[in-house]
Amino acid sequence: MGNNAGGLYALTEEHEAIRAAVREIAEREIAPHAAEVDAESRYPIEAQKALTTAGFHATHIPEAYGGEGADPIATCIVIEEVARVDASASLIPAVNKLGSMPLILSGSEELKQAVLPSIAAGQAMISYGLSEREAGSDAAAMKTRARREGDSWVLNGTKAWITNSGVSSWYTVMAVTDPEQGAGGISAFVVHADDPGFAVGPKERKMGIKGSPTCELYFTDCTIPADRIIGEPGTGFKTALRTLDFTRPTIGAQAVGIAQGALDAAVAYVKERRQFGKAVAEFQGVQFMLADMEMQIEAARHLVYVAAARGEVGGPDLGRLCASAKAFASDVAMKVTTDAVQLFGGAGYTADFPVERMMRDAKITQIYEGTNQIQRMVIARSLLK
Ligand code: COS
């Protein structure tokens, strides 16, 4: 629980040291490739190597499984600082957390020992398979099935929009084991890319986060050992939603990072750009825009850290707080990146500057890990219950 007793938070010297270390790596080894990664829709392999070498690829994994055991705020800071230069690359630590949280929260000790050390060591990554084409916001409407056969589970179906698919070795997959039970008939499993009957589809062509592959997963009599189930049969949907309570703040952190990157670029640009005989930074209208961007980012950052810290102690308002952090920060990222493009004028609309990429990347943070409409539903349900 450390510094976050009661769910309150304070940033420590260690947090600031982590921020400085990640920023240095991000600027030196990730930022120089970000435009090319986006233009070519290629995986940011340089970022993966740099983050893995420095131990920033999956900081949340507990020490018992060879990880850093970093607190949730530290993990948010890592994601934030990587997203500040390249949102696609920030999905390496973010999706490693998303894919492994079901296991950390609900898996057997044996399964944790079988999977988590490879992720902590940077030998493998893990993705999260909940959504299907016809089961996005209504996640419990999934059709992928898993049936028990002797010492195995056999999976059939298709998962959609799976982040980092193809580059991950492990996949947490939610599937229906008892169709009579609705959400209570869904179970969670860990599938390995080499398991028979598992395949990854072609890459989606996307608006943003182009460096992070998004594909379908195909299960055709995909056969896995019986002990790859996470928790008891029928607990998978709850595990999947509980996971999101721990990872929606990390998407908030990604959004804060994207927004900060756009503000930093805009501040530098308006000091250089001259019109009407002076730097555009000297116009009060521009200054007010910058001030609004700064206020929103700082507010989002603190809400994200509060929500992340609350995960360590739980409480009835955890889901509401995490939904608030994700929705607020991602709305801020969309607004701030759009304003950054505006401050760059015509130049901002071209790929010569990073702000148009940041604006495209920001959009997904309002959609994935639950649309912001779903976040507002979660918040309102919690208020009204
Ligand atoms: N933690 C643990 N359990 C939870 C939970 C949470 N945060 N939220 C809900 N549950 C439980 C409920 O208590 C319920 O169990 P009981 O029937 O035993 O009470 C069960 O899970 C089903 O919950 P609910 O009835 O609320 O499910 P709905 O089908 O109404 O769905 C929403 C709830 C819409 C909030 C959920 O489907 C959701 O978050 N959808 C978005 C999915 C998403 O984020 N997709 C992105 C994928 S990751 S890129």
Q: What is the pLDDT of residues 76-101, one digit of tens each?
A: 999 999 999 999 999 999 999 999 99
Cβ–Cβ < 8 Å for 221, 343: no
**Interatomic CA distance for residues 357 and 294, integer angstroms:** 20
Query: Nearest C-alpha to atom 22 of ligand 1 is from which residue?
Result: 183
Provide the pLDDT for residue 7: 63
Rounded to the nearest angstrom, the distance between the alpha carbon of 237 and the centre of ligand 1 is 7
263-279 pLDDT per residue, tens: 999 999 999 999 999 99
* Residue with CA nearest ligand 1 atom 33: 138
Measure 138 CA to ligand 1 centroid, in angstroms: 9
Active centre residues (catalytic): 369
Helix (H) or strand (E) holding 66: none
Question: How many A from CA of 241 to the centre of ligand 1?
Answer: 5
Q: What separation, in Å, do the N-terminal and C-terminal C-alpha atoms of the chain show?
A: 29
Q: What local confidence, expressed as pLDDT, does residue 10 receive? A: 84
Question: Whole-angstrom Cα distance, residue 312 to residue 316?
Answer: 13
Beta bridge partners of 145: 156, 176
- Please report the DSSP string for 288-315 in residue order: HHHHHHHHHHHHHHHHHHHHHHHTTT--
Report the CATH number of the 4-120 domain.
1.10.540.10
C-alpha 184 – ligand 1 centre gap (Å): 11
Residue nearest to atom 30 of ligand 1 (CA): 138
Token readout for 374 is 């779903």
Decide whether any atom of ligand 1 lies within 6 Å of the 369 Cβ: yes
Each residue's pLDDT tens digit, 157-201: 999 999 999 999 999 999 999 999 999 999 999 999 999 999 999
Say how far apart CA 125 and CA 220 lie, in whole Å. 22
Segment holding 192, helix H or strand E: strand 186-192
Task: For ligand 1, say whether the CB of 245 is within 6 Å of any of its atoms.
Answer: yes
Residue pLDDT, tens place only, 191-236: 999 999 999 999 999 999 999 999 999 999 999 999 999 999 999 9
Stretch 66-84: mean pLDDT? 97
Cβ–ligand 1 contact at 241 (below 6 Å): yes
Q: Residue 1 pLDDT more than 50? A: no
pLDDT at 233: 98
- What's the CA dihedral at 260, 263, 269, 273 to 10 degrees? 180
Query: Which ligand 1 atom minimizes the distance to the CA of 161?
Result: 49
Residue that the structure tokens 């179970």 belong to: 187
In sequence order, the 6+-apart residues with CB closer than 8 A to the CB of 17 are none
> Into which CATH architecture does domain 126-232 fall?
Beta Barrel (2.40)
Does ligand 1 come within 6 angstroms of the Cβ of 130?
Answer: yes
What is residue 166's three-state secondary structure? coil
Within 8 A by CB and 6+ apart from 172, the residues are 99, 100, 102, 103, 126, 127, 128, 129, 188, 189, 190, 191, 230
Atom of ligand 1 nearest to the CA of 128: 48
* Residue 181: DSSP 8-state: G
The domains of the chain are located at: 4-120, 126-232, 237-384
- pLDDT for residue 113 is more than 90: yes
Closest C-alpha among 378, 98, 112, 102 to residue 239: 102
CATH of 237-384, one of 2.60.15.10, 1.20.140.10, 3.40.50.720, 1.20.140.150: 1.20.140.10
Mutation test residue for ligand 1: of 159, 238, 246, the one with most atoms within 8 Å of CB = 238
Ligand 1 atom with the smallest distance to the CA of 377 is 35
Count of beta carbons in the 10 Å neighbourhood of residue 372: 17
What pLDDT digit, counting tens, does each position of 6-57 carry?
A: 566 789 999 999 999 999 999 999 999 999 999 999 999 999 999 999 999 9
Average pLDDT (245-257) is 98
Q: From the CA of 318, how far away is ligand 1's center (Å)? A: 13
Q: What average pLDDT does the segment 344-361 reach? A: 98
Under the banding of pLDDT at 50, 70 and 90, the label for residue 2 is: very low
Cβ atoms of 119 and 170 within 8 Å: the answer is yes
Q: Is the dihedral of CA 163, 166, 170, 174 positive or negative?
A: positive
Amino acid 234: pLDDT: 98
- Choose the residue to mutate in 97, 214, 241, 246 for probing ligand 1, maximizing ligand atoms within 8 Å of C-beta: 241
User: Would you say the CB of residue 319 lies under 6 angstroms from ligand 1?
Assistant: yes
Cα 4 to Cα 108: distance, rounded to the nearest angstrom: 27
The pair of three-digit structure tokens given for residue 271, joined into one six-digit string: 């000091």
246 has a pLDDT exceeding 50 = yes
